[in-house]
Chain A
Amino acid sequence: DQQVKQNSPSLSVQEGRISILNCDYTNSMFDYFLWYKKYPAEGPTFLISISSIKDKNEDGRFTVFLNKSAKHLSLHIVPSQPGDSAVYFCAASDNYGGSQGNLIFGKGTKLSVKP
């Protein structure tokens, strides 16, 4: 039973437009959410996070929105750039900071940004 779901395996966006990556979760105990970005042959790298006490966190072109009632979060990238092309993993934790290996990952969404 998947606790973190990324229902879109892939997404294609034109350069300069907005990319929206979605993530749903089932465990109401999750209190911290993270997005990781992964290029081929490299490990995932941390992108942005949000705690359950917030509904929005912004860092440059990246914004994460959290809707606790819907158990849904999304990552917005504006404007999208070709270098953003990667696999994006949503992860959740029930232990603030994602410690102790309690990160539960989704399957990932492959984003392709076309010039």
Chain B
Amino acid sequence: GAGVSQSPSNKVTEKGKDVELRCDPISGHTALYWYRQRLGQGLEFLIYFQGNSAPDKSGLPSDRFSAERTGESVSTLTIQRTQQEDSAVYLCASSLGWDNEQFFGPGTRLTVL
């Protein structure tokens, strides 16, 4: 069956440019999470969506980061004015509900030159 998908798989951009990363969760999953993994680090929580509730943005590292989700479908993570320290693998996960197992996508590798 279809799992969580993310696009693009790789993105190289120049410092200062904006990037948009996409996540397609598993159909029917009401919860969606964004994480990032910088080189040599563990996964770092960024933002969480649950149904139509206000998202938990407590992990976003700066106001250059934002994310949207329409209903219980696709989510986009936008990074404005990218910096070199934004280089990381950005992972999306979804789950049936707030206390269910999270299923991860393959990630988007972002390189900021």
CB-CB under 8 A from B91, the residues of chain A are 43-44
> Roughly how many angstroms separate A107 CA and B42 CA in the complex, as a whole number?
4
**B40 nearest CB across to chain A (Å):** 7
Q: What does the 1/0 interface line of B35-70 toward A look like (CB < 8 Å)?
A: 100001111111110100000101100000000000
Nearest Cβ on chain B to A40's Cβ, whole angstroms: 10
Q: Which residue of B lies closest to A108 (CB)?
A: B42
Question: For window 24-49 of chain A, which residues contact chain B by CB distance below 8 Å?
Answer: 36, 41-46
Decide if B43 touches A99 in the complex (CB within 8 Å). Answer: no
Q: How far apart are the CA atoms of A25 and B49 in the complex, in Å?
A: 26
The reply to whether A101 and B42 contact each other, CB–CB distance below 8 Å, is no
- Chain A 90-111, CB-CB to B under 8 Å as 1, else 0, gives 0100011111111111111000
Most chain A CB within a 10 A radius of its CB, from B33, B58, B105: B33
Q: How large is the interface on B (under 10, 10 to 19, 20 to 34, 35 or more residues)?
A: 20 to 34
B103 to chain A, nearest CB (A): 8
Are B40 and A107 neighbours in the complex by a CB distance under 8 Å?
yes
Chain A positions within 8 Å of B, measured between CB atoms, are: 2, 4, 6, 36, 41-46, 89, 91, 95-108
Pick the contact of A44 from B43, B48, B100 — CB < 8 Å? Answer: B43
**0/1 string, B83-104, CB within 8 A of A gives 1:** 0000000010101011111111
Task: Decide: A101 near B104, CB < 8 A? Known: A89-B42, A106-B42.
Answer: no
CA distance A43 to B59 in the complex (A): 19
Residues of A contacting B95 in the complex (Cβ-Cβ under 8 angstroms):
99
A101 touches B99 (CB 8 A): no
Q: What does the 1/0 interface line of B3-27 toward A look like (CB < 8 Å)?
A: 0100000000000000000000000
30 contacts between A and B (CB under 8 A): A2-B42, A4-B42, A41-B106, A42-B106, A43-B91, A43-B93, A43-B103, A43-B104, A43-B105, A43-B106, A44-B91, A46-B103, A91-B43, A95-B99, A97-B98, A97-B99, A98-B99, A99-B31, A99-B95, A99-B97, A99-B98, A99-B99, A100-B48, A100-B50, A100-B56, A101-B46, A102-B45, A105-B43, A107-B40, A107-B41
